[in-house]
Amino acid sequence: MSLQSINSISMTVKIQVLDNQTCNFLYDALVLESGYNPNDRAQANLTVQNNLLILEIFAKDSVSARASINSFMKWINLSLQIISMTKNTN
């Protein structure tokens, strides 16, 4: 039995929100995190298309891929909660 190792992992997550303004707020909240790369094991890219936020993660190993996607999902959830709260107070 031979073991094969993972050379790289690529993930794309598309998040559709209710409107363009919310999508732009979400992008602005996350774009700095996508540029932060403490090591060369994973990198993220964010783009916006209308009310669709597209997150692409490229990782060298499964541990980095999992850590990156978990972090972004938590940041996205928190950001959407804050955006919702600020919209409800206006």
Higher pLDDT, 7 or 48: 48
* pTM reported for the whole predicted model: 0.82
Q: What integer pLDDT is reported at residue 33 of this predicted model?
A: 81
Residue found under tokens 């891929």? 65
pLDDT band at 5 (very low <50, low <70, confident <90, very high): confident
Domain covering 9-82 assigned CATH 3.40.50.1240 in the classification: no
Is the pLDDT reported for residue 1 higher than 60? no
pLDDT band at 84 (very low <50, low <70, confident <90, very high): confident
Tokens matching residue 61: 């190993």
Rounded CA-CA distance 19/77 in Å is: 16
Every domain of the chain and the residues it spans: 9-82
Write the pLDDT tens digit of every residue in 26-81. 999 998 887 766 668 889 999 999 899 999 999 999 889 999 999 999 999 999 99
List all residues 6 or more positions away from 48 whose beta carbon is below 8 Å from its beta carbon.
Answer: 23, 24, 27, 54
Q: What is the DSSP letter of 89?
A: H
